[in-house]
């Protein structure tokens, strides 16, 4: 039978990795993900996890090791945060372009300067265009289950996958978590079948320089150019929308826990006012919705679990009755607005949904986001809208603006 433990988000992630049995783990410590690496090193040392544990001198090297190991056919893992993720930036592009199903936990943390070890989602959201699937978790149970799902997803579409969760808010907070049985995980996650390999008897060049146009190789076979390779990655991102949904259904059938796939909904049955966000802030919004529901306000939460691929069609359906949409997010696209608001507006463009999208920047650098503050922000939005102010607006929540 499965076991229930009271553990942190980082412990949940490390246990999930162990259940998935990667063959190579590359590690470089950075708060708040360090505990994942420490636990995995202990599991390798004690024989619980039969893997090569590679200690490297930087995050750039950590991902480079995984690129090499994945290329020769190994299931792999690493974790990082904040400036460590940014240091990987070059290799994030390389891993995606090489179509390597690497799984990495990003324990979300504010980016320096100024330095902060505390939470927001600026780090992972800034890597939106590197070609990685990004899945966001709202609690520790979802962390362990999403890491397991991430391997299944990545290895089906050959796209690297980032499992994101809020530093300290989840990484260091203890919650009851049901640990899946190892036999069930093996039943759910088949052995990794690499699409790349190295054979000494058949030497080959890995990732040569591509020309802009298609051309024949030495055997006369017409091969893709650079643009065709980019198209194929985008095409398979489109495919991954369905794969993420299907994997969630299969996981629900086997383990009994349903995360909605691309999005999740709370109290949306009769709602015409919607709150949306990613990760723990969206979970916090469910408490605000409960309080406002007691006053007769028809409001619900649409949580976005998959930031990449972005669930455009799912959101159009979820917001079909929307009169007002309120976005709470822990990131800012400087010079514009919160990046999630931009994505939501783009998804709704041309859909016939003309609800104003009100943008709240919240919780940057770990500033606490309380339920009462979310309630106050929602009330303020409703009052302004009731007074005829229906313009899209960006507001900094709980921030001195002097």
* Domain-located, residue 197: no
Token reading at 15: 């246990």
Q: Answer whether 361's CB lies under 8 Å from 342's CB.
A: no
- Which residues are 326's β-sheet partners? 275, 358
The Cβ-side half-sphere exposure at 398, using a 13 Å CA radius, reads: 18
**pLDDT, mean of residues 198-216:** 84
pLDDT surpasses 80 at 156: yes
pLDDT at 159: 98
Residue with tokens 């009330």: 379
Q: How confident is the model at residue 390 (pLDDT cuts 50, 70, 90)?
A: low
Residue 222 lies in a domain: no
* E strand map for 234-349: 263-266, 273-277, 299-304, 306-308, 324-329
Nearest to 368 by CA among 330, 402, 336, 342: 330
Report phi then psi at 345, rounded to 5. Answer: -60, -45
* β-strands 324-329, 357-361 pairing: parallel
Identify whether the C-beta of residue 171 lies closer than 8 Å to the C-beta of residue 35: yes
Q: Do 182 and 34 share a structural domain?
A: yes
Q: For position 295, which CATH number holds?
A: 3.40.50.920
Mean pLDDT (the chain) is 96
Q: At residue 210, does pLDDT exceed 90?
A: no
Residue 218, domain member (yes or no): no
**Sign of the four-CA dihedral 258, 262, 268, 269:** negative
Q: Is the pLDDT of residue 198 over 80?
A: no
Give yes or no: residues 161 and 267 share one domain. no
26 and 152 housed in the same domain: yes
Tens of pLDDT, residue by residue over 63-89, are 999 999 999 999 999 999 999 999 999
User: Is residue 163 one of the residues assigned to a domain?
Assistant: yes
DSSP string, 387-399: TT--S--EEETT-
| Same domain, yes or no: 173 and 286 | no
Residue 166 sits in the same domain as residue 34? yes
**Complete DSSP assignment for 77-102:** EEEE-HHHHHHTHHHHHHHHHTT---
> What value does the mean pLDDT take over residues 323-340?
97
CA dihedral (208, 212, 216, 218) in degrees, to 10, reads: -30
Q: The tokens of 169 are what?
A: 């808010």
CA distance 64 to 56: 10
Q: Are 49 and 177 found together in one domain?
A: yes
Last residue within a domain, chosen from 137, 170, 188: 188
Q: Is 78 contained in some domain? A: yes
Whole-number Å distance between alpha carbons of 109 and 192: 31
Peptide bond into 305 cis (omega under 30): no
Same domain, 182 and 270: no
**Domain total in the chain:** 2
Residue 199 predicted with pLDDT over 90:
no
Query: Between the CA atoms of 233, 237, 162 and 246, what dihedral angle is there, to the nearest 10 degrees?
Result: -140
Global pTM value: 0.96
> Are residues 32 and 163 located together in one domain of the fold?
yes
214 domain-assigned: no
Q: What is the pLDDT of residues 219-261, one digit of tens each?
A: 899 999 999 999 999 999 999 999 999 999 999 999 999 999 9
Same domain, 277 and 183: no
Domain that holds residue 89: 3-188
**180 and 270 both lie in a single domain:** no
Beta bridge partners of 76: 24
**Percent of the chain residues past pLDDT 70, beyond the cut:** 99
C-alpha 166/C-alpha 379 separation (Å) is 26
β pairing state of 76-80 and 103-108: parallel
Confidence of residue 218 (pLDDT cuts 50, 70, 90): confident
Share of the chain above pLDDT 90, in %: 90
Check pLDDT > 80 for residue 204: no
Residue 399 has pLDDT above 90, yes or no: yes
Residue 229 domain-assigned (yes or no)? no
**29 and 153 part of one domain:** yes
Residue 119 lies in a domain: yes
Distance (Å, whole) CA 145 – CA 175? 14
Single residue among 134, 155, 188 that ends a domain in this structure: 188
CATH number at residue 138: 3.40.50.970
Q: Helix axis angle, 140-157 relative to 226-255, nearest 10°?
A: 130
pLDDT (tens digit, 9 = 90+) per residue, 157-189?
999 999 999 999 999 999 999 999 999 999 999
**Domain final residue pick, 170, 188, 206:** 188
Helix axes 59-71, 89-97, angle to 10 degrees: 10
Q: How does 339-375 read in b/e, with b if 16+ C-beta sit within 10 Å?
A: bbbebbbebbeeeebebbbbbbbbbbbbbebeeebbb
């Amino acid at each position: 039978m499965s076991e229930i433990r009271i553990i942190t988000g980082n412990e949940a992630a490390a246990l999930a990795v162990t259940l998935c049995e990667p063959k190579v783990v590359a590690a470089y410590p950075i708060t708040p993900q360090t505990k994942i690496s420490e636990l995995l090193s202990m599991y390798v040392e004690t024989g619980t996890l039969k893997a090569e544990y590679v200690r490297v001198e930087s995050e750039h090297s950590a991902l480079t090791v995984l690129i090499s190991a994945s290329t020769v056919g190994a299931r792999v893992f690493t974790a990082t945060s904040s400036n460590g993720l940014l240091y990987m930036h070059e290799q994030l592009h390389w891993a995606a372009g090489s179509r390597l199903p690497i799984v990495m936990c990003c324990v979300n943390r504010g980016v320096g300067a100024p330095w902060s070890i505390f939470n927001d989602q600026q780090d992972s959201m800034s890597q939106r265009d590197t070609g990685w699937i990004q899945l966001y978790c709202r609690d520790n149970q979802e962390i362990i289950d999403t890491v397991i799902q991430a391997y299944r997803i990545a290895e089906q579409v050959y796209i690297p996958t980032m499992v994101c969760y809020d530093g300290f808010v989840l990484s260091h907070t203890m919650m009851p978590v049901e640990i899946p049985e190892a036999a069930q995980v093996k039943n759910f996650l088949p052995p990794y079948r690499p699409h790349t390999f190295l054979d000494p008897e058949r030497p080959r060049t890995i990732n040569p320089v591509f020309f802009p146009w298609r051309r024949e190789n030495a055997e006369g076979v017409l091969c893709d150019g650079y643009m065709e390779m980019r198209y194929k990655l985008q095409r398979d991102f489109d495919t991954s929308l369905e794969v993420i949904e299907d994997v969630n259904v299969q996981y629900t059938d086997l383990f009994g826990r349903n995360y909605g796939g691309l999005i999740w909904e709370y109290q949306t049955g009769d709602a015409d006012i919607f709150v949306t966000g990613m990760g723990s802030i969206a979970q916090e919004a469910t408490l605000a919705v409960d309080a406002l529901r007691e006053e007769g306000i028809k409001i619900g939460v649409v949580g976005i679990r998959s930031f990449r691929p972005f669930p455009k069609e799912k959101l159009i359906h979820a917001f079909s009755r929307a009169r007002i949409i309120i976005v709470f997010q822990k990131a800012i696209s400087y010079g514009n607005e919160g990046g999630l608001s931009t994505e939501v507006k783009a998804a709704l463009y041309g859909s016939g949904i003309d609800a104003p999208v009100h943008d709240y920047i919240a919780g940057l650098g770990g500033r606490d986001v309380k339920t009462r503050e979310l309630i106050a922000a929602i009330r303020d939005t409703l009052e302004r809208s009731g007074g005829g102010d229906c313009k899209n607006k960006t507001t900094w929540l709980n921030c001195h603006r002097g």
